Amino acid sequence: MKFSFVTIFKELVAPYFEASILKRAKDANLLEFEFVTPRDYSEDKFKRTDDYAVGGGAGLVFTPAPMFALLSQIREEDSDAHIVFLTPAAKPFKASDAKRLSKKSHIVFVCGRYEGIDERVVEEFADEVFSIGDFVLTGGELPALVMCDAISRFVPGVLGNDESLDVESFEGYLLEAPSFAKPADFNGLFSPSILLKGNHSKIADFKKNVSKFRTKYFRPDLYEKFLKGTMR
């Protein structure tokens, strides 16, 4: 699977893929990462990619010309490229989206800066537009990395044990139960005794019940969806 990042700050993004799971996936040719900058498509002699907003207002906006040229080239080279824009003014990104997008062959993340990207670019090229939360960041690079990481985990072979995906948070609308590492007794702090008895059926029931309680407390909105699902 290929990920392309459209950004004027490659140095903020590229290092993330030089360690841990995603580096191993890259080295195994399971994932490919590409970084392209609209500066290379700017006809301005200073390679500027932004200008003041039409109608006034604080901050600068990415101008359409470099983005149109860059994204048009991507589309010409790969008609299957799925172009995603990152902005707070969009639908929230969810685990179900990560699973769905992991079936794509090529995802392009368009990372804005300043006051955003000219809306004509979004309307022309966006296959989807996502937000990762109800807050504003200085750019789209962090949201792109968050989405890339979440999506990559569903690509077959990226995780050492794909079965771990079955018990994660948000599967079946429940948050994942807490985990405990050995030793079972650490300075008088004990992990739940039921986890030590080897009864896998009871352990599964315990974790499911804890997941329910945790979800009801932290995410009552998800818990309501869980209840509706069990009543069908």
| Domains recognised in the chain with CATH numbers | 2-152 (3.40.1280.10), 169-230 (1.10.1270.20)
Whether the predicted pLDDT of 232 surpasses 70: no
Candidate from 79-83, 87-91, 169-173 with smallest mean pLDDT: 169-173
pLDDT classification of 83: cutoffs 50, 70, 90 = very high
CB atoms within 10 A of CB 45: 6
Residues in the chain: 232
pLDDT classification of 47: cutoffs 50, 70, 90 = confident
pLDDT at 165: 64
Q: Phi and psi of 111, rounded to 5°?
A: -100, 110
Rounded percentage of the chain residues whose pLDDT exceeds 70:
94
Whether the predicted pLDDT of 229 surpasses 90: no
Q: Which residues, including other chains, have CB under 8 Å from residue 98's CB and lie 6 or more apart?
A: 147, 150, 151, 153, 154
